[in-house]
Chains A and B, each alone.
Chain A
């Protein structure tokens, strides 16, 4: 019997997309979800579960969808994943669960991400997430009012806070910005991850009894020592890789050059697209160059389209094949008119007399031998320099771990890249302090951050309950 085609999620039409920040992917109807769920072979080796950094029991929840029992499906996902409405939208499934799905051999893997999202959205709509949280609270063990501090409210912090709250700890989560959610709030745009969904998942944490304190920068407002002396039995660091990298080439301080973090924060967190109703402005030129080839670069480019730029280009030093962005986001970007200028490396930013960006001197690249990451290394083609005209540049070439904790807490050892060094169970070099997510991994995905967060919360629970700390 031939394998049926995947049921693809409906998307907002392009002409509507490029004028609004509405979510692009529309999700499945109940019928579509059941139809897609029935494609899952329920194969015994279950490679997808191994492919999931948090080990969701994927075939089990898909089976429940196929049976029309969405509530059971939701409960199965929630056992392992605190924020399925988010991961269903932003996970790079093609490199994880769907990448190892047996049907992927026929290029038709089960649409696990879309199904996860369907279940989470259904739960949100039906209000069952709230009930489930209340049940969790009622049934949670008492852990003698032991206080644990979670620093950072992004994916790693959310996972640890939810896990420990369910285990009966009194969790306080500290966020330096004025809204919790970390990169989910300031980084990923509305059209890919609506903020109401992030707020809903944060609200679930509150229902679990997590106390969330915004506007507290750990390292400055309180030090880690303060927290440990203030009665917190353990401190978890999930401060992420939030410091943008700059290429270190001439002219990078010119006006109208943004880091992707700044550009996206202005738009997502500060709602600069609603200026002047909102006070934070943003400049968008006619011809925008986004430098980089990851998800953040796609987010920035697609945001620039929506802000009204006439032409938006991705400048990337390798080819499309090596791009780290999710396939789906590359397709979305192309559909929305983003152009790709590949094998191109900026070497200098050029400005006018007022130091306003007018162009980028670039050099053509060619691919050489594979490097440490297994991707073919880009090599400059001598004499191929050219000027790429642009009045706005957005730099999306990655981020470093935030240096503040390391600078203010010398007891916590970091490597030469600024990543916090931990043992295999995510203990840092400072007693009672644990870390996970991008502050340990460097730059990873939402779900990888959550996966390490899960391991950290297990270690914290074990160390406390076995009296090690």
Chain B
């Protein structure tokens, strides 16, 4: 017999790595519609902030969505403190345009840090669509590397990098990507998801090879539905909204410097809030 949960109840929780958590949340209406590349906006508690998080996976039968997040600020810490049986105050989605999934030929999926959880559904769908999927995933060290097995399952080939060389190649995912392209392999498309600086470097790597490259942008966001413009970025010289025009964009058209500077807009406030939160809760 199927067990019934309350809307937005956390039904499973796992720590994938220090500070990186995976939760499965009961929300059948989002699970029914979710597609690769889409995200949800989550708010924890009355005082909570609205934050965007990628949908890493879904189970339409059971009505579950999987969210992977790293505890970096007050909002993700608050989410991380919720356990199985707790209900997340607000979850809305699926938001954003689904990723373009077609048979392109050979696709390289590049994931960095928590971005691996975001690239996973894309790799999975691209594989299903008949592509040859080569995945490159990386983290600072082996303890922080997540979704290795998941990625292996949906990739024809999996390559790993760590900054400190504790697993796989020592270096960045972009180094591995460069070597792959230099090897002369015909690549039809590259998709990169991770920290803004990583996506910027990947875009720089693929540009001379003229390979179509897609990135999923992680700008600051407030409403998530095209109402506020907080998430605006410059793409091809024009102002675009990540939430309704993206989150996927042509990497070679994105002004990453603007993205990175806007991501840092509230650094001081974020640190203040986190310090206060950790002191109060300690």
Contacts and interface: CB of A to CB of B under 8 A. Distances in A.
Contacts of B33: 220-222
Interface stretch (B91-99, B162-170, B198-206, B210-218): B91-99
A242 B227 CA distance: 5
Given A215-B92, A253-B233, A259-B229, A276 B29 contact: no
Contacts of A407: 244
A217 B89 contact: no
Interface string B141-171: 0000000000000000000000000000000
A465 interface: no
A438 to B, nearest CB: 12
Contact of A221 (B30, B47, B50, B75): B30
Interface stretch (A55-63, A277-285, A448-456): A277-285
B78 to A, nearest CB: 8
Question: Interface on chain A toward B: helix, strand, loop, or mixed SS?
Answer: loop
A165 B216 CA distance: 43
Interface stretch (B103-111, B185-193, B260-268): B260-268
A374 B223 CA distance: 35
B43 interface: yes
B230 A253 contact: no
Interface string B69-101: 000001100100000000001111111000000
Contacts of B90: 178, 214-215
A51 interface: no
Interface in A65-88: none
B29 A222 contact: yes
Contacts of B197: none
A283 B264 CA distance: 12
Contact of A279 (B75, B232, B244): B75
Contacts of B241: 243
Given A216-B29, A244-B228, A403-B226, A253 B262 contact: yes
Contacts of B272: 276
Given A176-B92, A214-B90, A221-B30, A404 B244 contact: yes
B266 A277 contact: no
Interface string A330-368: 000000000000000000000000111000000000000
Contacts of B232: 246, 252-253
A129 B174 CA distance: 64
A354 B223 CA distance: 25
B222 interface: yes
Interface residues of B, number: 45
B239 to A, nearest CB: 5
B257 interface: yes
B273 interface: yes
A177 interface: yes
B230 A262 contact: yes
B269 interface: yes
Contacts of A243: 226-227, 229, 241, 244
Given A217-B225, A253-B234, A265-B227, A279 B93 contact: no
Most A CB within 10 A of own CB, among B30, B50, B74: B50
A261 interface: yes
Contacts of B233: 253
A407 B49 CA distance: 28
Interface of B: 29-30, 33, 43, 47-50, 74-75, 78, 89-95, 222-223, 225-230, 232-234, 239, 241, 244, 255, 257-258, 261-262, 264-266, 269-270, 272-273, 276
Given A275-B269, A355-B257, 7 more contacts: A177-B225, A216-B92, A217-B92, A243-B226, A253-B258, A277-B47, A402-B226
Interface of A: 176-178, 186, 214-217, 220-222, 242-244, 246, 248, 252-253, 255-256, 258-259, 261-262, 265-266, 270-271, 274-281, 283, 354-356, 402-404, 407
